[in-house]
Structure 1
């Protein structure tokens, strides 16, 4: 009787049957370790990078080994930390802190607040603003290097970037070493209005102080260098270098064509075109940049270094 009651008791659940996954499948039975070897693995989203020129998919590690230069020769934009690591001997350098400035001095109205844009840019780049200052050696020659990061609000020139540039120039004079800058900018930062435009004059004064101290000032223009940056410190160097095919301009091609109502020649505002016209001294590939900079800095500092040795 008890047995009959037990069979008719619907509250009792039948024993669960293990699924093939729970049983491990036939593969797990014959070779327990094989399952882990053939298990599906997640592929990182950034494993491949698309070449801007050809559309070819390039393995990321290969691109990193090539200093972010594609097989087609496209010099892709890189961040400040990468640039500094590629530039200084053994990738060793000392970071120099940039001065702090008032944020959003004009309370600039926009569909998104200026402080929010700054916060987003800082999260993306890991830097406080578009300019990063460092001190180190290039082929044995000490120098101060500034890098503009286009990923930070288009490398725009505002009060923070202006103060960073002035600080770098002062450090070069204080340490009696050359001053090198890698430019990458879309121009002045509109959220700071006239305060941004003032940086054109202030950075020009800082460049003059470096030159009055008898120290070299070398500009390396990367893609893109335009606007107020081109109208100020980017064109005041003792020597102007540029990466291949870098766009270097004040106003955009379309704006100029609409203004003069003429079609501009092919390659206009590109580094190679500007070398032919004497605006840029030499186009240098990323892999050769350190060697070229080291040679120039050593030559330009030869007399000063000899006097120090004496």
Structure 2
């Protein structure tokens, strides 16, 4: 056997199935290549530049609830295609595809559990589900989450991520804005806090309604937050917008939000807010 064969045979090559794309993750911001395991262990944040990637409801619930234990709340049944909408494909087909891809019923999923030993209901919008768009199902899920929080005498914590209202439902999607506002009035009447965590991106009708109505407004670093797109605004006012416009840090500097919190610190920050804002009777039993 030649020396070249001996060297080649001594190299510990990984099996082909382990060297696929899922072994590495390319950061969308700095374009660094990092091990997927390292990226996941870092709460889906780039270990090089701290870019916070978008995550779904399952990962968010596991990060927020004590010991990763929680109970997913059932999604309300709604009429799924009230306008019989069709563009390049049927709306019902788009919903089926989104459900297959994400495993969620719709863009907003609620769960209840303990955050730092305090009861809480947490809602998460998943951008992977049709851009996290707000339709009838999202509005119904929001109201359901608020009412479960009222029944359990605990706060409602919402993680927003959306491109706005769902165009396939027309005016019916926009009607979810006042519907959510009325639900929040019920929550405040019960003396319970509403905490919003704005994640990348939170835009359109969601920003114009329940995303900006929190008692405390938190944002993840560098999250895009706004109503209309930057290009639309520039074309309307015919001026160049400042650097970082509509990013979390810019909004914090101009008083639109209360704090920008790294994902690693979110659980403790939200837990402290719940402790400050919730009556003592809202304390849950110590998680096992």
TM above 0.5, yes or no, is yes
Per the alignment, residue 278 of structure 1 pairs with 255
Is contact 2:154–2:282 with CA below 8 Å preserved after alignment? no
Gaps of 5+ in 2: 2-8, 284-288
Does residue 192 of the first structure (1) align with residue 169 of the second (2)? yes
Alignment CA distance shift 1:254-1:99 (3 Å): same
Shift of 1:104: 1.1
Query: Mind listing any 5+ residue stretches in structure 1 that lack a counterpart?
Result: 1-25, 27-33
Task: Indicate whether 1:69 and 2:45 are aligned.
Answer: yes
Q: Which has the higher contact order (CA 8 A, sep 6+)?
A: 2
**TM-score, reference length from structure 2:** 0.92
Structure 1 pair 48–198 and aligned structure 2 pair: CA distance change class (3 A)? same
Q: How many residue pairs align between the two structures?
A: 274
Matching of residue 267 in structure 1 with residue 244 in structure 2 = yes
CA distance in structure 2 between the partners assigned to 1:163 and 1:41 by the alignment = 46
- Max radius of gyration: which structure? 1
Match of 2:225 in 1: 248
**Match in the other structure for 1:224:** 201
1:183 positional shift: 0.3
Alignment RMSD (CA, Å): 1.7
Counterparts in 2 of 1:126-205, with a 5 A limit? 126-205=103-182
Deviations 1:270-292 (A, max 9, x none): 00001111111000000000000
Secondary structure (helix, strand or coil) at the match of 1:46 reads helix
Task: Encode CA deviations 1:15-74: one digit per residue, 9 max, x unaligned.
Answer: xxxxxxxxxxx9xxxxxxx99x87954323211111111111110000000001102010
Partner of 2:25: 49
Match of 2:22, SS state, is coil
Contact 2:118 2:282 in 1 (8 A): no
Closer/same/farther in 2, CA of residues 40 and 78 from structure 1, 3 Å limit:
closer
TM-score, scaled to structure 1: 0.85
Kept after mapping to 1: 8 A contact 2:162/2:201: yes
